[in-house]
Amino acid sequence: MNILSFKDHLQVFQSMDSLQIEGMKNLLVSLNTFLDNTFLTSINNESLYKSATLQSTDIIHADSSYNNDSWFSNVAIVMDTNKSTYYNTDQRTCFGKVLLLDEFYVNNSLKTAIFAFTMVKWYDYCEQNEADPEPTEIYGCPRLMMLQDYSIVPLNSISHAVHIIPRFHKKNQFLMNRYLF
């Protein structure tokens, strides 16, 4: 690597948002977990993107500099029916914040293919209990909390972008607005 390309790389990392850095820190572990559960044997030529268009025509973002502001989309992810029993879902749908949009070439014994995915940080539902007596839904919107769990999710598993609203008077609590779909 020459000095010019090193400076280019350094400039890219200095312009990254804290959410992108968080995604990069957890990418290797998540990729290894993903590869352990698939038929893929190796990865070549990884590329990061700032946005992607879903089949629903929604555009999702993982961009630290969208109109001089950061934009990381919240998304609805359709869970595999075999795995949906492990997660609290809303009609087989879970929610996550997109940290990275990525694409890589994969090799298996037959051919090379392109695989597009997102790195997400998961939301989960807030449970009602003695310490937190609020109902699980407020105005028909489920209460969520952000977890410290990260996963690689195939881009085609994301059904649409969602509107998740922070509850400023509560630490790590959000509402998922069902009325904007």
Residue-wise pLDDT for 26-76, tens only, equals 887 887 777 777 666 666 666 788 889 898 889 999 888 777 788 899 999
Give the global pTM. 0.78
Q: How many CB atoms sit inside 10 A of residue 8's CB?
A: 11
Q: Which of 54, 52, 57, 51 is CA-nearest to residue 70? A: 51
> Tokens at residue 75, please?
């998304």
Instruction: Average the pLDDT over 21-25 and give the result.
Output: 81
Write out pLDDT tens, residues 79-100: 876 654 556 666 678 899 999 8
pLDDT at 158: 93
In the chain, domain spans = 3-180
Q: Give the confidence band of 8 by pLDDT, cuts at 50, 70, 90.
A: low
Write out pLDDT tens, residues 93-119: 889 999 988 887 766 666 667 778 888
